[in-house]
Structure formats: C-alpha cells, structure tokens
Amino acid sequence: MDDTFTLLPLTIDPATKAISSLDSSLASNLTALNNLHRATVSQPNQIPPPPLPLNPKRSAQIQKMREQGNASLRSRGTPSTAQAQEAIKLYTYGIEMALGRPSWEPAQTVREEAGILYANRAQAYMAAQMWAEGAADAETSVELKRADNGKAWWRRGRCLCEMGRWDDAAEWVRQGLEVAGNEADLAALMKEIDRHLEKGER
C-alpha cells in the first residue's frame, strides 16, 4: 500500500489554479485545499512560516480593541446600554480578529486571546441585560480558557440565574467551583443559588 495511491479525477483551472473534480465526494476536501492555497500563496516561499515566533501586529490590534471596549464599559459608574452596545461591538471586532488568524498560527494564542475577549463580551452583554448572549459567551470563554477563568464561570452562572434557570445555574457553578477552585464570588453565587432553590422547593 505504501507505494500505491488512488488516482483521482482532478482538474486544474489554468487561470485561477483552483482544483476541482467531477467526484462530488471530494468537494469539501478540495474547497479546503483551495482555501489553504489562497492563504499560503501570499506567504514567503508559498509555505506557512513556522508557528513561532509570532507576528505581534495582530496581537497588538486585538489588545487595542479589548482596551477600547474596557474603556467604554468602565467610563463612569454603571455603563449605560449604549456604552455596553459600543463595548460589545468593539469586543466583537476583537473576537473576529482573534478567530481570523491564519490557521497555522499557534492555536494556544487564539484560545487565550479569544477566551479573554469572550469573557469581556459576556460582561458587556450582562451590562446590556442580554442574558442569553452573555451566558453563551461566558461558556465559550470557559471552553477556550479553562485555567484561571473564574470570572467567566461566575458570569454564566449569574446569567442563568437572571433567566430563572436555577437548576442549570447550580450545576454550572458547582462545576466551576471544582475547576476554578474556591473563588470568593463563585462561592457566594453558589450560596445564593442554594438559598433560592431551598426556598423554591419548600
């Protein structure tokens, strides 16, 4: 098997260099190939550079978006809905930039950058009282950045409480306490949920 292969009916477009095939089962593979070709063809030597060292330009842009978003949220006292919406917009740009990194750049960097941005956007959604979106963003943040992310655990817990999903919130926060250790805010939220559930069951 080592020296043999299955010859596939491929054709190349002389102008665009796009590969296509009559065999429709190859379609997804060929789309991936053509997309990758478009991304790599502009690289030096037409191959992806090694994952490290990383070009700091995009990281700087992402950080700028985050800081602007933070500034919008923290202007004075409790942020107004308009300020929260502005922060959401800025964080969304940052998330798009973080997830839009070329696919060969370190996935760990993407996880960290996007993880923080999702946690921040969750906060902004909470400020705008958009609990469902906040819950989803906080969960995404936790998925991306497991360690040292107690805030995101707390935010989803809070959002679930606000939506009246106390049982889900209890399960989520309990899990969060296991992973994130005994974070004070999280423990307080757990107590609050327990109190509510006890009251509800009586």
The site for another protein (CB under 8 A) is made up of 1-2, 5-8, 10-12, 14, 17, 19, 26, 29-30, 32-33, 36-37, 40-41, 45-51, 99, 101, 103-108, 110-111, 114, 131-133, 135-137, 139-140, 143-144, 163-164
Consecutive H or E run containing 20:
strand 19-21
Nearer to another protein by C-beta: 32 or 82?
32
Residues 6+ apart with CB under 8 A from 145: 111, 112, 115, 116, 119, 152
| Residue 188 near residue 157, CB atoms below 8 Å | no
Identity of the residue, 17 or 195, whose beta carbon is nearer to another protein in the bound complex: 17
- CB-wise, 6 or 182, nearer to another protein? 6
Task: Please state the closest distance from residue 198 (CB atom) to another protein, in A.
Answer: 22
- Which residues share a beta bridge with 21? 10
Nearer to another protein, 162 or 192 (CB): 162
Smallest distance, another protein to C-beta of residue 4, A? 9
Q: State the nearest-atom distance from the C-beta of 180 to another protein, in Å.
A: 18
Long-range Cβ contacts of 162-165 (<8 Å, 24+ apart): 162/129, 162/131, 163/131, 163/132, 163/135
Which residues lie across from 146 on neighbouring strands?
none
**Please, are residues 155 and 115 in contact by the beta-carbon 8 Å criterion?**
no
Closest CB to another protein among residues 187, 196: 196
Report the residue number, 54 or 197, with the smaller CB distance to another protein: 54
CB of 115 to another protein, least distance (A): 10
Shortest Å, Cβ 185 to another protein: 22
Smallest distance, Å, CB 87 to another protein?
18
Q: Are 109 and 133 in contact (CB under 8 A)?
A: no
| Cα distances (Å, whole numbers) of residue 156 to 57, 85, 121, 192 | 32, 19, 12, 14
